[in-house]
């Protein structure tokens, strides 16, 4: 978490436009069959391991990785960093009212934080007008990453990150797994129990696991 925040801080200070991707096994498998999505992920300035599956694969490749850095866990300290540095933040996406509620919560925790919100995916012009330093997009993958590659880049946002359903978790609309399940790498099981529709999305996981297990340590990541 600390190194991810330091890297994001340096990307904002560098200027330009940078994508931060929250990569999970579904991203990896999607990228193997979707060249355009693969291109966008390859363009990311920073990929963080959003789940134990990516951490497991990275360790098998010989990478030193202490644990996952999920988007939902990254947002609160990132908001604190923006407040400290005087950086503007923009929350985009999720169901109507969710981004606004999260913005209010973040302001209550950090009164000096400059944060705007909208759920409309046609808000590219509003993003340009607000000129945020950090843009969080909650459209779900791969739509959020493709939107960032197109509209976020055009808006010149220094750091843009897709965060999936993080706004729902942070506003309490969707409960998170107990801490012990998160520590044990079982948050996916808790989510599946509450959201059975995820089973279809998770159908790629056996193929991902086989790819990881059959990939040599000296080869490239699956």
What confidence score (pLDDT) does residue 200 get?
Answer: 66
What confidence score (pLDDT) does residue 66 get?
Answer: 87
Residues 6+ apart with CB under 8 A from 222: 28, 32, 57, 208, 211, 212, 215
pLDDT exceeds cutoff 80 at 23: yes
Q: Lowest-pLDDT range, 8-17, 53-62, 139-148, 189-198?
A: 189-198
In three-state secondary structure terms, 59 is helix
Buried residues in 165-178 as b, exposed as e (16+ CB within 10 A): bbbbbbbeeeebbe
pLDDT exceeds cutoff 90 at 84: yes
pLDDT exceeds cutoff 60 at 123: yes
**Ranges of each domain in the chain:** 2-214
pLDDT tens by residue, 158-177 = 999 999 999 999 999 988 77
What confidence score (pLDDT) does residue 135 get?
Answer: 98
For residues 98 and 101, what is the distance between their CA atoms, to the nearest angstrom?
A: 5
For residues 70 and 110, the answer to whether their CB atoms sit within 8 Å is no
The pairs formed by 121-129 with CB atoms below 8 angstroms and a separation of 24 or more are 121/92, 121/93, 121/147, 123/92, 124/151, 124/154, 124/155, 127/90, 127/92, 127/151, 127/152, 127/155, 127/157, 128/154, 128/155, 128/156
Of 23, 198, 168, 20, give the one whose Cα is nearest residue 99.
Answer: 168
Buried residues in 192-204 as b, exposed as e (16+ CB within 10 A): eeeeeeeeeeeeb
What confidence score (pLDDT) does residue 220 get?
Answer: 46
Q: Lowest-pLDDT range, 64-68, 114-118, 128-132?
A: 64-68
Q: pLDDT confidence of 6, banded at 50, 70, 90?
A: very high
What confidence score (pLDDT) does residue 168 get?
Answer: 96
Q: For residue 159, what are its two tokens?
A: 């750091």
What confidence score (pLDDT) does residue 199 get?
Answer: 62
In what side-by-side order are the strands of the sheet with 114-118? 46-49, 18-23, 159-162, 134-138, 88-93, 114-118
Mean predicted confidence (pLDDT) in 47-60: 92
From first CA to last CA, the distance across the chain in angstroms is: 24
What confidence score (pLDDT) does residue 126 get?
Answer: 92
Q: How much of the chain, in percent, has pLDDT values that exceed 90?
A: 69
Top pLDDT among 124 and 77 is at 77
Is the preceding peptide bond at 142 cis, omega within 30 degrees of 0? yes
pLDDT exceeds cutoff 60 at 69: yes
Of 36, 61, 83, give the one whose Cα is nearest residue 212.
Answer: 61
Dihedral angle sign, alpha carbons of residues 149, 192, 222, 56: positive
């Amino acid at each position: 978490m600390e190194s991810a925040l330091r890297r994001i801080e340096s990307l904002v200070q560098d200027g330009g436009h940078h994508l931060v991707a929250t990569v999970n096994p579904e991203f990896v498998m999607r990228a193997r069959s979707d060249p355009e999505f693969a291109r966008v992920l390859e363009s990311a300035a920073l990929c963080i391991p959003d789940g134990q599956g990516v951490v497991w694969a990275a360790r098998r490749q010989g990478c030193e990785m202490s644990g996952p850095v999920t988007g939902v866990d990254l947002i609160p300290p990132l908001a604190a960093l923006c407040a400290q540095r005087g950086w503007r933040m923009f929350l985009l996406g999720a169901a109507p009212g969710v981004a606004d509620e999260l913005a209010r919560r973040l302001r209550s925790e950090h009164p000096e934080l400059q944060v705007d919100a909208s759920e409309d995916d046609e808000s590219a012009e509003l993003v340009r007008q607000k000129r945020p330093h950090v843009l969080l997009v909650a459209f779900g993958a791969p739509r959020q990453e493709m939107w960032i590659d197109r509209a976020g880049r055009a808006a010149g946002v220094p750091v843009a990150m897709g965060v999936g359903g993080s706004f729902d978790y942070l506003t309490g609309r969707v409960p998170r797994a107990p801490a012990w399940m998160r520590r044990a790498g079982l948050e996916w099981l808790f989510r599946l129990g509450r959201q059975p529709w995820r089973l279809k999305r998770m159908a790629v996981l056996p193929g991902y696991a086989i790819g990881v297990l059959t990939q040599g340590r000296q080869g490239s990541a699956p």
